[in-house]
A and B are shown apart, each in its own frame.
Chain A
Amino acid sequence: MTTLATRARTSEQPVLRTPPKKTGQRAALVVALVLGACFAALPVVWMLSSSFKTNPEIFEFPPRLITPGFSFDAYTTILTDPTKLRFFFNSYVIALSVTALSLVVAVHAAYAFSRYEFWGKKTINVVVVSVQAVPPITLLIPYFGLVVALKLYNTYQGLILTYMVFTLPYAIIMMTGYFNTLPKELDEAVKVDGAGPLTALWRILMPISVPGLVSVGVYTFMICWNEFLFALTLTRTEDMRTVPIGIQLLMGQHSYEWNEMMAMSILGCIPVLILFLFFQRYFIGGMTAGAVKI
């Protein structure tokens, strides 16, 4: 559990606790939480259930959660197909590289936005925010031409740079907010000792910004992991495709492999879920400081 939450809880306990009323409130809260969980998770439960069914069973009416055709076939098919495993591998390589590179680049930009006043700051800020607003579908053709001209077509680099461009604005905005919450005296102190701003950034700000970095990183990772349109257009050969394309390849001209699609997205979400479980204490903490002062 998160250290932050724990701390918050222990600190308020003596004030808030008035036992008699609490039981009823707690029960109401649990009911509400369960209802909310139904909204959030039931569709996913259905996805999971469908991944164990045969294709016709998915369309059965009345629907059943567990059917006689229950099997792990869809999972076996995916996990024994080297082409599909390659999709997972590609998605990891790309998503992890983008996350790392985007963070490094964004941190410097955010540092500039947070610690300096300079000519054009406001304009650059507007640009950074609004470039997110161009419908990607219209960018596709010129962007594709550009990637081909730069000889990045069908390469990891092409996709990595593309996703960096997509995730940088968000990462910069969030990291700027995060740095804004950290007192300026911290880096001024280092500079007084004669060190440059880079030292201040890397030696002082970065170590205490780990939560912020994690939260932005997880978000970046998810964007890359789920992106479809550019992954499709900017790659050509099967060994360069990513998971979302693998899922769409199961949607044929005449029929869909419903159960395999479901299984593949379940498999796809597991690593992200593990990542979230692992990082969630930072995640919650990180968003705090970052978000408060964007």
Chain B
Amino acid sequence: MSSTTRPAAEPRPVQAAPPPGADSARTRRIGRIRRTLTPYGFLSPTGVLLIILMITPIVMVVSYSLLDRVITNKNPAFVGFENYLEVLTDPVFFTAVRNTLVFTISSVIVHFVIGLAFALMLNSPLLKDRTKAFFRVLYILPWLFTVAIVAVLWRLLLSPNGVVNYLLGTAGITDGSTEWLANPSTALAAVTFINIWSGYPFFMISLLAGLQGIPRDLYEAAKVDGAGVVAQFRNVTLPQLRPIIISMALLDFIWTTQQFALIWMTTGGGPINSTEVLSTFTYKLAFTEYEFSVASASAVLVLLMSMVLAFFYVRHQKARD
């Protein structure tokens, strides 16, 4: 498309004086084709990259999921949906789904609540700009560390002889001997807490930005109507932030369902299987049982669930346009 069009002038729909006769129809047709093709041109680098480096491996994973014992078996046979059956009849899979949902949904909700609370505080007109900048830097800190170190740090903090127990014990809140990560009844909550700590800054920053984008006159109008602080928050702030909240929540949901390293390096999916999530379940299938086919089937199931989410996400986008 590029070689022939170089000298051709841009058709100018607004201006008069169309080029003579037969030529004009042709130019217009080329123009139309060009217009149709332009977006694809813009998308082509993305397309090339995603197709080669993302879609190809995904397709390979899908095909693995239909074969028998890939990787370990040199000539795997086609087994249809047998691997899916194996995943779906494994009770641990459902434990993993349940834990993933608990982990993800509570993470997303608390990310949102903390993120919004911090954003509101950091946006308060009562504070000096410098104070806000200072706290903003402090509040962003958890975001700056690689997962491995977050896991190691919190293992230290939450160990039975760790700082958290020491502080709680000294303050008399607990007896100071809680096994946060090693007790099946607190492990999932502890891991979720760590994930909340390490993930809220993303929400906070986005919401903070959103708050600053809300036109001031909306608040003034609300005040004229006699709305108090709470009513202003409910009737102006929340509705204005809604688009951000929904898209952030969806992105966060997708990202959190994939959280692997954090859980693996703190509890390894244990104790027993109280923190077993889909990612640790899949990892174990692949790298300790060498069941790459079954692991692929499990991954494809996760992909399908996420595609449903993605679909709603895009629809939501459309609805707002």
Contacts and interface: CB of A to CB of B under 8 A. Distances in A.
A93 interface: no
Given A6-B129, A137-B282, A146-B57, A130 B206 contact: no
A280 B208 CA distance: 12
Main secondary structure of the interface of B (DSSP, over half): helix
A109 B71 contact: no
Contact of A284 (B9, B43, B209): B209
A284 B212 contact: yes
Interface in B1-40: 9-10, 12, 14, 36, 38-40
Contact of A63 (B129, B162, B223, B248): B162
A16 B229 CA distance: 11
A222 B45 CA distance: 23
A235 interface: no
B317 interface: yes
A247 B148 contact: yes
Given A43-B157, A138-B282, A291 B247 contact: yes
B210 A111 contact: no
Interface in B42-67: 42-43, 45-46, 49-50, 52-58, 60-61, 64
A29 B135 CA distance: 12
A113 B247 CA distance: 17
A75 interface: no
Contacts of B254: 129, 132-133
Given A13-B125, A41-B138, A61 B161 contact: yes
B137 A277 contact: yes
A108 B46 contact: yes
Given A46-B163, A228-B147, A287-B205, A4 B212 contact: yes
A36 B43 CA distance: 43
A30 B127 CA distance: 9
Contacts of B126: 22, 25-26, 29
Given A16-B125, A43-B197, A222 B144 contact: yes
Nearest to A264: B149
Contact of A244 (B40, B148, B206, B248): B148
A139 B57 contact: yes
B278 interface: yes
A150 B257 CA distance: 30
Nearest to B128: A1
A288 B138 contact: no
A27 to B, nearest CB: 10
Contacts of B147: 226, 228
Contacts of A121: 39
5 shortest interchain CB distances as A-B pairs: A133-B306, A287-B209, A138-B299, A130-B310, A1-B129
Given A135-B260, A137-B286, A287-B205, 20 more contacts: A26-B126, A30-B127, A32-B121, A33-B127, A135-B299, A137-B279, A140-B286, A165-B49, A172-B46, A194-B10, A197-B42, A251-B148, A265-B145, A265-B146, A268-B146, A272-B144, A280-B136, A283-B205, A285-B212, A294-B247
24 contacts: A5-B132, A9-B125, A29-B126, A40-B142, A44-B142, A116-B38, A118-B39, A122-B318, A126-B314, A129-B313, A132-B254, A133-B303, A139-B61, A142-B61, A161-B49, A164-B49, A165-B54, A168-B50, A197-B38, A226-B147, A229-B261, A284-B208, A286-B209, A292-B243
